[in-house]
Every structure is written in C-alpha cells, then in structure tokens.
Amino acid sequence: MHMVTLTKGVPDFREGKVSFDEDGHLERGKTPTVMNPNDKVALQAALQTKVKHGGHVSLLSMGPPGYKEVLQEGMADVYADDLCLLSDREMGAADTWATAMTIATGIEMLDEEPDIIFAGFKTADGETGHTGPQTNWCIDINDELTDRPLITHVISLDIDEDTNTVRAKRLVEGDVSEIETIETDLPAFIVTDPEFEANYRRAEHRLRYKDLREQTQERAAALDLDEDVTVWDHEALNLDPDFIGLDGSPTIVSGVDPIPKGPSEREARVVTPDDEDGMEAVFEELNAFAAGD
Amino acid sequence: MTEYEHYEAVVVGAGPGGAAAAAALAKQGIETLVLERGADAGAKNVSGGLIYAEEWAPYTIDDLFPGFREAAAERPVEEYYIHNIAGENVKTFDLDRIHHRGTEWCDAVLRRRMDSWLAERVHEMTRETGGGLLTDVRVNGLLREGGTIVGVTCDELDPIEADVVIAADGVNSELARDAGLMDWDDPDDWFQGVKAVVDMEPEVIDERFDVRPETGSAHLFSGDLFDGVRGGGFLYTNEDSLSIGTVFHLDSLADERAEPHELLDSLLTHPLLDQWLQGEYEEREYAAKLVPDSKRVAHPSPHRGRLLLVGDAAGQMQAQGPIIKGMNHAVTAGGLAAEAVAEAQTRGNVRAAGALYEQKLEDEGVMKRLRPRRYRATRFVSESRPVNRLGRTLVNSRLGAAGLKLFDGLLERSFNSPFVLGMIPDTKMTYVTIPERVGEVLGDPVDGESRVEPPELDDRIGDLTYDVDDPHIEVLDDSFEASGTAVTACPVSAEGFGGGCYREETVQTNGEAERKVSLDTQPCVECGTCAVVADTHWEHPSGGKGVQFEQG
C-alpha cells in the first residue's frame, strides 16, 4: 500500500506562540511555522493504514525551503517514510487552484502512484478546505494519474485488502450530525475530519504502532534536511511558471480587513471583601440572579 | 469476523511480578504479550517501598534485570529500627539481625520510577519473541470456550487467546476473582496501607538520618499512636524524599471506624519524627493500597486451567510483625510461573503449567514463608480468647513491667527472631499492647515536639492526577448498615467531608429519615477497600483512566 499525505506549514496559533501587532495583524516573523494540525490527523490515518496493511507513507508539501522542518515535524510527531517538498520561488503566493495543480504534478512524479492520498480538513491559516478536493480534481484531469473517488470528513477507516476496497465513516454535519458509511474501491482520496480517530483493536497492531513510532522518531532526529528531503522545483516538475504560483492563481484578493474586536458590554468594578458597603451592593446585584429573575 | 489473536503467553500487569514472569518467559523464547492498564507502568502502583533480594530465592529482581539497583531503585537500606511508642515515651530496638538475615540486599523504591524502568526492559525482551508490552489496556476478564479458560478479554482490544495467562494484576485482581480463586469478602484477610511521599534534599537526608550518601535507613513504628487500631507505621529514605506510611488490619480499621489519613497524621505529627522532619513538610503525593495478608489468603493452589496467579493477585504478600515483604515474592513467583510454563511447553502439555507452578512454590520455599506452619498453630488466638486477655492483663501489670525490664535484651532478640515472628498472632496485644508497654516501661521520653502540619484531605486529593472516566464502582446496597463503613475506611473519604468518594446522607422517605451512602468515584485511588467493607460492584477503570501516581 502506498500512501501520500499532503501538508502545509501554518503559523503556530497556540497561546504563547503566536504574536500579533497592535493592529491585530499576525506578525509572521515572530510566529513560528508548524505543521497544520489537521494534517497530523490525516497522517495518523496514513499511519493506521501502514500499521494494519504495511506499505509506504510519503509526506508531501509545497512551500519555501523552511517547510523541510515542517515535514520533519510530521515525521517526528506522527510518521513518514520519506519527505517531499515542492519548492520554488515561482510557486510562491499560489491560491488553492495553483497549489492543487502543482501538488497533483508532484504526485505524478512519485515512483509509484499512491493507493490512498490523505489530506487534512482545512489549514489553520487559509481555512478554505479547498486544496485537498481540488487536488483530486487535478488528478482527474491528469491523464497520467488514475481517477479516484473523494471521501471527505472521514472519522474512521477500514481497508479490505482482499477486495481492495475502503470502508469509511463520514461525519455529516447538518441540523443533526449523522454518520454515513461509504464503501468504495481503491485507489481513493481521503480527507480526514478533525474527529478522526485511529483505531487499533489488535495487540499486534498496537505493538507495530509502537515500533513505527519509535523508528520514525529516531529517523526524524537523525534527519539531514539537505540530504534526506526530496525537493522538486518547477523545472523538475516540468511546470510552466505561468500556470503556477501567483501568476497561475485566478483568485484575486481585493483587500483584507481585520475583524474588529467586539466592544465589551460589561463593566468591571473591583470590590474588596473588607468594603462592607461595596459587598452589600454586590449582594444586591446578585439577589436578582439568585431569585432566578 | 477476523479470528482472535493468539500468543503463547499473556501476562496481565507490569508490576514486579508481571515483569519478572515476562522477562523469564522471554528468556525461554516464549512469545509473550504483556498488558498493563496504566498509562505508564507504575502509574497504578503503590507500595510501602522496600524490595528485597533474598539469598534463598531462585529469582531476584536484579538477576532478571541487571542494573536494576542503579537505575530503578532508591537508597539501599543499611539500618533498620523499630520504635515502640507509649505517648511520648519511645523504646527503639535495632532490627538489624532480622533485616539482614538471609537478605542479599534491600532497597527503597518508588514504584512509578521502578515499574516504568522495568517495563522498558520487558518490552525490549518480549518484543524479540514476537510479543511486547502495551500500556493503556485493561484486561477485564477471562476468555472462555465451553467453560475452559482460553485467553483474556479487554476494554480496548478484541479478545486475545493464549496458551497460558499469567495474572499479575495486583491486589484487586479481576482475573483471580473471575476465576473464583480470590474474593473480597472478609476484612480480616487484608491490610490497608496509606503513604505520603515527602520531599527532602539528599544532603539533608544524609545528615538527619545519619547515613552515608546514597545509603538509607528504615524505621518502623508501633504502640499507642494509632488509637488502638491494629497496625503500625514505617519510614523509608529515598534518594530525595521519604516514604512515610501506616499499615493497618482492615478489620480493625473498619471496626474502630478509624480514618486512615488521620492515623497517618498521628504518625507524621509524633514528636519522634521531629528529629527528621524538623518542622519542614512538603508532601509530594498521598497514596493508598490494600495489602493481602498472606498468612490467611496466599493461595495454596494459585492456578486454574491455563491461568496462573502471581504476586498480590495470589495473596503473596508476607507481613509478619516487622517483616514486610511483597515485591520479592512476586518476583520469585513470576520467575517460577515462567519456568513452569516453559517446562510444561517442553513436555508438550502447557496445561500442566499450573500444577508445576504450585509444586515449585512449595519446593522452593515460597509457600512456607507466606503461610508459616507455626502461625497456623497460633492463629486461633483471636481477640476474644481468654488467653489473650490474660496476656494483656499480665503485660499491663507491675509484674509484667518487671518482666519486660528483666528481658530487655531478650525482647530485642525476640523481635529479631523469625521463629517468634512467625508465631505472632495478629491481635491487639502484639501490635499495640506489648509495644506500648515496652515504650512505657523501657522507653525514654523523646525531646522535640512536632512542628509539622500535614495537608488536609482535600488538598491531598487535589494534588493527585486523575483522568476520569465513567464510574467504575457501583454501590449495590446504599444503606448505611451495608456500606457505611466505606465512609471512614476509604482513604480518600471521611465523616463530615464532602469532597471524597463516600459520603453519608440522610434521606427523608415518607417522613422517615434514612441513613444512606452515596459514592463519587472521581477521587478514587483504586485501593479496593470499599470492595471489602461495603456492598459494591467493583472494577478497575479502563486503560489509562483513573488515578495516576507520579511516585507510587
């Protein structure tokens, strides 16, 4: 089984890591870049497939050379057999369409066509959720690659090697959330839901998971970013610069407005417990709530 | 359906018994899977804290795990004392002889550190055989086929078949109970221990205990500081902490409606401890555990079909007066169980493993230590016997006092005699009356007064780490008569305290007030006390859930 997981580097939005300027703009230089958290979920799905059925997990991204560390993070925190980065100035400032075109071509370049391509549910910065499905559309129009069904919002996954099929549960959110089960032939394109959970009910699988986690951590720690990450530029991918990056992006961003902070409607007043009159007033205020008014 | 997985051996529990069994099985090339319910091995384990290597034992922990003492143990115990306490009078006996008798070495340990180290070695060894060690997996019962045990069932995994199952799942072994080999019926069969791990800098330990760096001492306490509850206290030196605890007969604890945490505080605040604590007290962790009384419950035939019990699960915990040995017996039993499995397998009849194991426990001298015959002869001496009452009167009399004075040296010798200790009946006289009189008649008042304030129970509970899941204990009969003892005996509950597991409530029904008991399993330390003293359906939480001890 050959699997590819797609990923992107995003600003680390966690408290204490992210930094904003006075106007509320993200300070890109002061905020570290990390692997998009939803992509780690997708990578867990790839790891589960490898644990249960063997095979090979590639982790692929498009971005600046610094993304090599993002790939390394994926290898250390989840799993990867090899790392591949599509990187070139010409690819910069791509929208989701140009990105999907580039990635589909990158997938075409791999030694072996993947049985399953995994992508995470939207990135933490762009939040479009388009790149995965659009990549599959680009695969559809690419004559070198096999068309494959797209299954999104996947929360659990089982593969039957004998019939070469995949059975996936999807979380369909509507007025009432429903779980839909889909069965389809491989190869397939799978977008995991953040609720996806790897599922290991056999001891042998948990033991293999433990082995693979140990191995991937060791390999990630010993990784030589110059040697061990495959990097392809637009020439290697044989892509026309007019169709990738900013030039290849039909999306026009007309402007960006920061979301203004909502004015607080509450007023705060400090009352010390020693202030008898103040406390009296506090109780007065609370009385209405205590009475359920 | 996919068929069940199969392993040659499944070991349940990665404490010292399970680790020893797994290591010995792996050495024989037997495919061994170890299942541990803690998120980390040691996260569910508590012990007073001394592990012995005894000369007679065919398996010791450092034989099976070279480098154990350096990597996983705290300080080796070089000095061993018992303090007989009567009020502020204390008479100290040196127990050096009994301690060192037949002892190769004895180290203090903290279980989280120890067990997690062992588990890493066990995983490496068993992985070579095609098995391995998994944490976060709770085995919840035996897999049977037509009434025959053929494997185990788990919360987190599909059922697993095995040629042999070694249950080293501790004092509250669900497998031993599933097989009908152990029960939770009689408080007389159990001790309950509570323990505080207390911070102390290594140099401060060296100085206050007057020990060489990286060596330690052990102190036992008995007498009248526990309000007549039968049991005693202990203090062991670790590398940079102290383990201070108390162990009581559960029946006595239950009858006296004593609060375990208060009894621990009585020890902590006794002026005798001031020489060591000197007013400084920072508690790292509060923990509790049931301890089987091997004299009564060490199972003479700890196996059924393909199931073999090891360690606490089989009641293999030796507590006779100042001799408190559990982990070493678990290690020996684990080794012997593995040996039996390997032999039975060679003979082509793995089902004979249980009988072989039983034979080995007998032949190697494990059983005679766990259930001494001499004790069997004296155990009829119970609290109510006239002879005991006579003894108490005598000891308390002036004549008795004279005798004690006369036999001061002899007394110290008898505390050091395994023969006498093997005969000690578990009555108040031996635990309380004699030590108290010894302290009173022979002892000197201690100088110093206690300046420590142990934390309140809710702080102790608040400092523990829990990953709470669904309630794992159900009260079957919530009347006060049936389950009220749990309010006091549970180490994280107390009368008039609302933040613990068990609470007493008065419920008005049809104009009549009824005393009821309610349970909140949130702060449960999984000791199993309420399984014995209350009417409950008691299970362990699922893998990785429940309390997580950092020290243990």
We report the CATH number of the domain holding residue B227 as 3.90.660
**B438 and B316 within one domain:** no
Where do runs of H (alpha helix) occur along B321-479?
327-346, 353-363, 366-370, 373-378, 386-396, 398-406, 408-415, 418-423, 428, 434-442, 457-463
Yes or no, beta carbons of A207 and B5 under 8 Å apart: no
E strand spans, B224-266: 231-237, 241-249
CB contact under 8 A, B134 and A211: no
The candidate with the shortest Cα–Cα distance to B209, out of B319, B74, B383, is B74
Identify which of A203, A210, A211 has the shortest CB distance to residue B157: A203
What is the nearest CA distance from A62 to chain B, expressed in angstroms?
A: 37
Query: Which DSSP symbol is given to A177?
Result: -
**pLDDT (tens digit per residue) in B453-477:** 999 999 999 989 888 878 999 999 9
Query: Across residues B36-48, what is the average pLDDT?
Result: 96
pLDDT of the residue at A264: 75
Instruction: Give me the mean pLDDT over the B177-205 stretch.
Output: 96
Q: Are residues B56 and B91 in the same domain?
A: no
A290 touching chain B per CB within 8 A: no
B376, part of any domain: no
8 Å CB contact of A201 and B7:
no
- Print the domain residue range for B92: 75-108+183-293+381-454
Chain-chain contact of B127 with A207 (C-beta, under 8 angstroms)? yes
> What's the pLDDT band for A159 if we cut at 50, 70, 90?
very high
Chain A residues in contact with B134 (beta carbon < 8 A):
203, 206-207, 210
Tens digits of residue pLDDT in B306-342: 999 999 999 999 987 777 899 999 999 999 999 999 9
pLDDT band at residue B190 using 50, 70 and 90 as cut-offs: very high
Name which of A200, A201, A207 is nearest B132 (Cβ-Cβ). Answer: A207
- Give yes or no: residues B284 and B415 share one domain: yes
H-assigned helices in B454-548: 457-463, 480-483, 485-489, 529-533
Q: What is the mean pLDDT of residues B194-214?
A: 97
Q: Is the domain of B142 the same as that of B284?
A: no
- Please check whether residue B464 lies inside any domain of the structure: no
Minimal Cα distance from B139: which residue of A? A203
How many CB pairs lie under 8 A apart between chains A and B? 29
Indicate the pLDDT class of residue B419, thresholds 50, 70 and 90: low
Domain harbouring B526, CATH code: 3.30.70
Residue B1 has pLDDT above 50, yes or no: no
| Last-in-domain residue among B341, B371, B401 | B371
All residues of chain A having their beta carbon less than 8 Å from the beta carbon of residue B157 are: 200-203, 206
Helix (H, G, I), strand (E, B) or coil at B359: helix
Give B269-279 pLDDT, tens digit per residue. 999 999 999 99
Tell me which chain A residues have a C-beta less than 8 angstroms from the C-beta of B35: 203
Into how many domains does chain B fold? Answer: 3
Residue B423 has pLDDT above 60, yes or no: no
Cβ–Cβ below 8 Å for B134 and A207: yes
Instruction: Tell me if A201 and B157 make a contact (CB, 8 A cut-off).
Output: yes
| Judgement on whether residues B133 and B278 belong to the same structural domain of the protein | no
Average pLDDT, chain B: 91
Please tell me whether residues B190 and B44 are part of one structural domain. no
A210 in reach of chain B (CB within 8 A):
yes
Write the pLDDT tens digit of every residue in B225-273.
888 898 899 999 999 999 999 999 999 999 999 999 999 999 999 999 9
Range in A163-177, B359-373, B385-399 the model is least confident about: B385-399
Average pLDDT over residues A209-236: 97
Question: Distance between CA atoms of A34 and A143, rounded to whole angstroms?
Answer: 34
Q: How far is B12 from chain A (nearest CA, A)?
A: 13
C-alpha B259: how far from chain center? 18
Which of A51, A204, A205 to mutate to test binding with chain B, by most B CBs within 10 Å of its CB? A204
Question: What is the distance between the terminal CA atoms of chain B, rounded to a whole angstrom?
Answer: 41
Residues β-bridged to residue B99:
none
Domains delineated in chain A: 2-243 (3.40.50.620)
- In this structure, are B335 and B391 located in the same domain? no
**Predicted confidence (pLDDT) at residue B5 exceeds the cutoff of 90:** yes
Side chain identity at residue B345, one-letter code: Q
Selected residue of B4, B37, B134, B135 to mutate for chain A interface (largest A Cβ count, 10 A): B134
Do residues B18 and B136 both lie within one domain? yes
Contact B157 A211 (CB under 8 A): no
Comparing CB atoms, the residue among A204, A210, A211 nearest residue B5 is: A204
Phi, psi of A165 (to 5 degrees): -125, 160
Of the listed ranges A120-124, A209-213, B380-384, the one predicted with least confidence = B380-384
The per-residue pLDDT for A67 is: 96
Q: What is the pLDDT of residue A261?
A: 72
Residue of chain B minimizing CA distance to A201: B157
Contact A211/B at CB under 8 A: yes
Using pLDDT thresholds of 50, 70 and 90, give the confidence band for residue A259.
confident
Residues B91, B104, single domain; the answer is yes
* Per-residue pLDDT tens over the stretch A52-72: 999 999 999 999 999 999 999
Taking every pair of Cα atoms in chain B, the longest distance, rounded to a whole number of angstroms, is 79
- B462 is a domain residue: no
Question: For a pLDDT cut of 90, what percent of chain B falls above it?
Answer: 76
Closest chain A residue to B10 measured between Cα atoms?
A203
Q: Is A207 on the interface with B (CB under 8 A)?
A: yes
Amino acid B379: pLDDT: 52
Look-up: residue for tokens 């089989």? B314
B184-189 mean pLDDT: 91
Q: How far apart are CA A26 and CA B232, in angstroms?
A: 63
* B441 falls within a domain: yes
For residue A159, which residues of chain B lie inside 8 Å, CB to CB?
none
| Closest residue on chain B to A203 (Cα) | B157
The residues near B550 (Cβ < 8 Å, ≥ 6 apart) are B112, B284, B285, B465
Are both B17 and B104 inside the same structural domain? no
Over residues B152-180, the pLDDT tens digits come to: 999 999 999 999 999 999 999 999 999 99
- The 3 state secondary structure assigned to B306-335 is CEEECHHHHCCCEEECCEEECHHHHHHHHH
B323 and B412 share a domain?
Answer: no
Q: Name the residue with higher pLDDT: B427 or B315.
A: B315
Domain end point (choices B342, B371, B400): B371
Distance in angstroms (rounded) separating the CA atoms of residues B530 and B108: 29
Q: Select from B313, B345, B371 the last residue of a domain.
A: B371
Q: Is residue B460 part of a domain?
A: no
Residue B463 lies in a domain: no
Q: What is the pLDDT of residue B228?
A: 84
Which pairs count as long-range contacts for B426-429, CB under 8 Å and 24+ apart, including other chains?
B426/B230, B426/B249, B426/B293, B426/B295, B426/B379, B427/B230, B427/B381, B427/B382, B427/B383, B427/B388, B428/B228, B428/B230, B428/B252, B428/B383, B428/B392, B429/B388, B429/B391, B429/B392, B429/B395
Residue B287: inside a domain: yes
The verdict on B199 and B344 lying in the same domain is no
A275 touches chain B (CB under 8 A): no
Residues in chain B within 8 Å Cβ distance of A211: 127
